[in-house]
Structure formats: C-alpha cells, structure tokens
C-alpha cells in the first residue's frame, strides 16, 4: 500500500476549499497542502452553478457569521477578480417591495446593511425608474446597494485553482471515495493508498454533512437540498435590465426570492431565478439519474411537518417560493418586479444549482448561518449556502483562525 502525507488536507475544491488553501498560503502557514476532490473538474457543483452575485451584506443578522464575513469577503474577492482582469459587472442592486405591506422591510434591510458595514440608500420611485425604467415598487420606495457586483463564478474557480497549483498546492481529482480514520489522521483512498494529514478541512458542500458524520461530527444535521432553476430573458425581449433587481425577501427563510441578474458577459444575459424547490437528491440537477429515494422520502416528511407546524413561517415559503418552478407562477413573480414581462420573453436557462441547506433535527429548523464544527485535527464546514461564494476569502480566514490552535505547524 502506498502512502502519502501532507500538513493540510482539504476535502472539496469548491470556492470554500480553494479559499482555505489560498488563506493558508497568504498567511504563510504552510505550503504543504493537498486538495482532494471527487470530480474530474472543479466547479461542477455550487461554486460553478450560482448566480455569481457578490453580495453587499444587507440581509444577514448582525452578529451572525454571514454578517461578519460577507462585506469583507466581497471586497477582497472583488479586488482579486479585478487584479486578474476576470469579468466583473459592477452593476449594483435594487431591492423593491412587490407588495405595499413589505415596505417596512426596506428599513430593516437598510439598518442591517449599515450595521454590517454595507453602503445602502433608500430611493423613491423616480430614482428607481432612472436606473431600471420598467421596474415597479409597490410602495414608492426601493433600496439601492451600489457595491453589489456580478462575476462569472466558473472563471473565478478555475483561476483560483490555477493560482494555487502554480504555488505548489497538490490537487487529487476524480477521488470518488475514501474511508476516514480520524484517530490515525489518515484517509484510505479507493485504490487502497493511505493519505496522512496534520489537519483536515472538510469543505465538500452538498456532501459535507455526510463526510462530517464519517468523522463522528454533526450527527444532528441532515441536508435538505433545494434546487434552483433559472430562466433568462430572450435576446429579443424589448427590455434588458442592466442592474440586479431583487424583491424584498422573507427573512425567516434562507432564500432571496426570484430576481433579475445581468451576467458579467460583455453583452450581459439577464437571468431570472433561481427557484427554491426541494431536490430529490443532493446532485439531482436534471432527470432521474441522481435521485436518492430514501433521502427524498425523508425530506418530504420533514417539509410536510414544517408546513403543518408552520415553523419558521414555512407555510409562506411553500405558497410563495416552492411553487415557482411552474413557469406561469414564475412569470407572475417576475411581473411583480417588472410588470411588462410576458411568457414569450423568457426561456429556460441551462444553469441549475442545488443549495447545501441543512436541517437541524434537534431544533427542527433550517439552519440559517454557516456552521464550522471543529473536531480533533479537523474542521467541518457545513451549511455553506449563499453568500459563501461572495464571502469565501473572509470565511476561509475565520475557518483558519478557529483551526490555528490545533494546526501545530
Ligand atoms: C442556485 C444557487 C445560487 C447561488 N447564488 C449565489 C450568489 O449569487 N452569490 C453567492 O455568494 N453565493 C451564491 N450561492 C451559494 C454559493 O454557490 C455556495 O455558497 C458556494 O459555492 C459553496 O462553495 P463550497 O466550496 O462549499 O461548495 P461546492 O462548490 O459545492 O464545492 C464542494 C466540492 O466538494 C467536492 N466533493 C463533494 N464530496 C466530496 C468527497 N466526498 N470527496 C472529495 N470531494 C468532494 C465537490 O466535487 C465540489 O467540488 C448560490 C448557490 C446556489 C445553489
């Protein structure tokens, strides 16, 4: 049996795993880093399948991990992208209340944004129309976030991978399976070889709860995967918003509602979405291939219970968001933001993503914040949902800080 060893082993080469490696190098902690990913290419899951929005930090409860890392993470990732000349659309974002009774939420978001260190401005309907002539606000007010930007997520992942490889980080890809031996600080790979580590970071996104359990961690969490489908405006649609346009979200569930996002392409494509409906498997992007019947049945039962007890305002989520995978209802939601949208203006996009949303069986609630569980010589990053892409550099710093007492390098 062959044996390899490294100071730091990172499981998962999505944006979070890559950013942990980036921070270890930036801070001169070690260069002996191995990243192990189950796929032949990086970016095949959430980090390559998201909206690419660098969020400005408006939504998150002050004091939460999301609030701590979003503003700083966005600033750092944005300058990293700019320094490398990667595509970036500095288009900002407008948030509007689709119904008048949601108007007060604009003040809540403005307050949260300011507390989190984000720049925000309350606008009237004229200012909104100057930015997006077709947009509508139900209350006559809107919230403007000048620092929201859009990148091309795959180009970021690929460039970061290349930068790390150039600095000597080893990448083992197509590593589908391993057996964890936490007490020996070792993994046994599918070819029988042993990989020993000084410290391990589990950044496996949609599989992170399963991987954590194989290390005896996070037994109370289950993944509740929510699929995000996107539509897009056709080329010949008479209006093409050049700024992000979002509805005021329901802050009791971790989804932002269907929104318009111009891409970071030279001629931006405007996507509408993503939806948030239960997926029948962790990686069930399309068709029936990756369905996990046992998991789907258990998760339907969880959602049915959440609905009946209306925990965390779940009934409103089901009525307003779970149904948006149906095109007529999606068009209706889009019309709340831009009344001129018609079914013939939109087409289904190829893009589809699945959120690594966790359900806590002890509290019977969806987890809202990132979770970093520290075990012996290992950290397990769970619930790395939005804005983990935006926040990745600052989140990685925090993950590394928490691990430092055990890093012993
Ligand atoms: C539809 C959608 C839209 C979103 N929009 C935004 C947005 O606009 N802005 C934003 O900031 N965030 C957004 N997010 C969230 C963001 O995409 C994620 O928070 C982020 O990409 C998480 O990165 P990650 O590295 O944890 O996971 P991933 O990108 O999923 O990476 C995990 C990696 O682990 C690997 N892996 C899995 N299991 C194993 C294993 N057993 N062994 C080895 N490797 C393994 C996978 O192959 C994968 O490469 C969105 C998410 C979705 C789904």
pLDDT in tens, 24-55: 999 999 999 999 999 999 999 999 999 999 99
Length of the chain: 409
More confident residue, 290 or 246: 246
The closest-lying atom of ligand 1 relative to the alpha carbon of residue 16 is 25
Write the residue with the smallest CA distance to atom 21 of ligand 1: 47
Residue 142 structure tokens: 């809107």
Identify whether 363 is part of a domain: no
Residue among 16, 30, 2, 401 at smallest CA distance from 207? 16
The enclosing domain of 407 has a CATH number of 3.50.50.60
Q: Is 204 in the pocket of ligand 1 (CB under 6 A)?
A: yes
Identify whether 362 is part of a domain: no
| 313, 331: one domain | yes
Number of H helices, E strands in the chain: 10, 23
* Unique residue bearing structure tokens 């079914």: 343
| pLDDT higher than threshold 60 for residue 170 | yes
| pLDDT score recorded for residue 146 | 98
pLDDT in tens, 310-324: 877 778 777 777 777
Rounded CA Rg of the chain? 21
Q: Which secondary structure element, helix H or strand E, spans residue 123, and what is its range? A: strand 121-124
Name 180's bridge partners: 187
Identify whether 306 is part of a domain: yes
The closest-lying atom of ligand 1 relative to the alpha carbon of residue 354 is 53
The closest-lying atom of ligand 1 relative to the alpha carbon of residue 36 is 43
DSSP state at residue 264: S
| 283, 315: one domain | yes
C-beta atoms surrounding 44 within 10 Å: 18
| pLDDT score recorded for residue 1 | 55
| pLDDT score recorded for residue 43 | 98
Q: Is 13 in the pocket of ligand 1 (CB under 6 A)?
A: yes
Calpha distance 157→141 (Å, rounded): 37
| 63, 154: one domain | yes
| pLDDT higher than threshold 80 for residue 166 | yes
Q: How many domains does the chain have?
A: 3
Calpha distance 169→22 (Å, rounded): 9
| 238, 346: one domain | yes
Write the residue with the smallest CA distance to atom 13 of ligand 1: 386
| 326, 256: one domain | yes
| pLDDT higher than threshold 80 for residue 406 | yes
| pLDDT higher than threshold 90 for residue 402 | yes
Task: Over range 131-147, report the average pLDDT.
Answer: 98
| 246, 213: one domain | no
| 9, 124: one domain | no
Residue that is last in its domain, among 110, 125, 146: 146
Is the pTM here over 0.85, yes or no?
Answer: yes
| 348, 245: one domain | yes
Identify whether 278 is part of a domain: yes
| pLDDT score recorded for residue 321 | 74
Calpha distance 20→34 (Å, rounded): 11
Mean pLDDT score across all residues of the chain: 94
Q: Which secondary structure element, helix H or strand E, spans residue 249, and what is its range? A: none
Q: Is 292 in the pocket of ligand 1 (CB under 6 A)?
A: no
| 246, 346: one domain | yes
Calpha distance 65→228 (Å, rounded): 23
| 273, 345: one domain | yes
pLDDT in tens, 143-157: 999 999 999 999 999
How do 3-11 and 33-36 pair as beta strands? parallel
Residue range of the domain that includes 62? 1-88+149-221+368-409
Q: Is 353 in the pocket of ligand 1 (CB under 6 A)?
A: yes
| 232, 304: one domain | yes
Calpha distance 60→56 (Å, rounded): 10
pLDDT in tens, 204-260: 999 999 999 999 999 999 999 999 999 999 999 999 999 999 999 888 777 888 899
Residues 6+ apart with CB under 8 A from 376: 182, 183, 406
Identify whether 175 is part of a domain: yes
pLDDT in tens, 324-371: 788 899 999 999 999 999 999 999 999 999 999 999 999 998 999 999
| 341, 263: one domain | yes
């Amino acid at each position: 049996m062959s044996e390899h060893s490294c100071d730091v082993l990172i499981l998962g080469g999505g944006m979070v795993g890559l950013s942990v490696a980036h921070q270890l190098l930036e801070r001169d902690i070690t260069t002996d880093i191995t990243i192990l990913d189950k796929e032949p290419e990086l970016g095949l899951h959430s980090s390559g399948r998201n909206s690419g929005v660098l969020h400005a930090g408006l939504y998150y409860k002050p004091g939460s991990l999301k609030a701590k890392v979003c503003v700083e993470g966005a600033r750092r990732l944005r300058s990293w992208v700019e320094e490398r000349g990667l595509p970036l659309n500095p288009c900002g974002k407008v948030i509007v209340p689709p119904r008048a009774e949601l108007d007060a939420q604009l003040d809540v978001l403005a307050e949260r944004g300011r507390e989190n260190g984000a720049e925000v401005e309350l606008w009237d309907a004229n200012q909104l129309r100057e930015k997006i002539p077709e947009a509508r606000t139900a209350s006559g007010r809107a919230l403007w976030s000048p620092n929201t930007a859009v990148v091309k997520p795959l180009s970021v992942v690929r460039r970061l991978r290349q930068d790390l490889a150039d600095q000597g980080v080893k990448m083992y890809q197509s590593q589908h399976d391993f057996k964890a031996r936490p007490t020996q600080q070792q993994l046994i790979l599918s070819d029988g070889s042993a990989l020993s580590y000084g410290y391990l970071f589990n950044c496996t996104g949609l599989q992170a709860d399963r991987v954590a359990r194989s290390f005896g961690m996070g037994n109370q969490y289950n993944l509740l995967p929510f699929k995000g489908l996107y539509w897009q405006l056709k080329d010949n649609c008479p209006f093409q918003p050049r700024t992000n346009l979002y509805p005021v979200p329901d802050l009791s569930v971790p989804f932002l509602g269907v929104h318009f996002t111009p891409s970071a392409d030279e001629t931006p494509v405007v996507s509408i979405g993503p939806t948030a409906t239960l997926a029948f498997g962790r990686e069930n992007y399309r068709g029936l291939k990756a369905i996990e019947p046992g998991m789907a049945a258990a998760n339907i039962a969880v959602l049915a219970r959440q609905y009946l007890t209306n925990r965390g305002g779940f009934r409103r989520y089901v009525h307003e968001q779970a149904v948006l995978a149906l095109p007529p209802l999606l068009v209706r939601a889009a019309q709340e933001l831009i009344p001129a949208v018609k079914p013939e203006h939109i087409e289904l996009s190829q893009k589809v993503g699945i959120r690594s949303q966790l359900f806590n069986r002890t509290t019977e609630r969806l987890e809202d914040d990132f979770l970093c569980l520290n075990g012996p010589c290992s950290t397990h990053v769970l619930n790395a949902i939005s804005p983990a892409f935006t926040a990745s550099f600052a989140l990685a710093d925090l993950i590394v800080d928490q691990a430092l007492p055990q890093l012993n390098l």
